[in-house]
Amino acid sequence: MTPQVKHFLDEWHGAVENRDRDRLDAIIAEGCELHSPVVWKPSADKHYLLHILMGVITVVEGFEYRDQWVKENEIILEFTGTVDGKGLSAIDRITLNDEGKMCRIEVMIRPLNTLIEFATRMREHALRYQPEAANH
């Protein structure tokens, strides 16, 4: 694991654990692509991505990373938790750019019944996004 990847992972885990939006902001590249399990079309709006990430770590109760795999600038993080009492198993597939910032994240969640509940909750959260408030 390169020092750049280690730094990213230390910051990522610290930000998630502390629900620290500013810390996440510092390690995410402008134009980072979000490939969500809820919608087909990826988003490249960093402020929207931050809004969504903060929602995920709130909506998923008992959010906890269990394992990680690293291959060069590609990272897979496995996490678990519950949504409305339904167990969840998921992965974040993260790509870092040459500066060590996240430039792509793809999230995959199972089982289907939990994904449906997660999608419902995240839709409500996503609809509260206000671009004008995010950019000041």
pLDDT digits (tens, 9 = 90+) for 26-79: 999 999 999 988 776 778 889 888 988 888 888 899 999 999 999 999 999 999
State yes or no: pLDDT of 133 exceeds 60.
Answer: no
Percent of the chain with pLDDT over 90: 62
Asked whether residue 135 is domain-assigned, the answer is: no
Domain that holds residue 36: 3-130
Per-residue pLDDT at 136 exceeds 60: no
Mean pLDDT, residues 18-25 taken together: 93
**pLDDT of residue 95 exceeding 90:** yes
CATH of the domain at 82: 3.10.450.50
Residue 75 within a domain: yes
CA contacts within 13 A on the Cβ side of 74: 4
DSSP character string of the chain: --HHHHHHHHHHHHHHHHT-HHHHHHTEEEEEEEE-SS-SS-B--HHHHHHHHHHHHHHSEEEEEEEEEEETTEEEEEEEEEETTEEEEEEEEEEE-TTS-EEEEEEEEE-HHHHHHHHHHHHHHHHT--HHHHT-
Structural domain includes residue 56: yes
Of residues 132 and 73, more confidence is placed in: 73
Cα–Cα distance, 82 to 56 (Å, whole number): 11
CA dihedral 95, 63, 59, 132 (to 10 degrees): -40
Classify residue 136: in a domain, yes or no. Answer: no
pLDDT value of residue 129: 66
Q: Is 40 a domain residue? A: yes
How many domains does the chain contain in total? 1
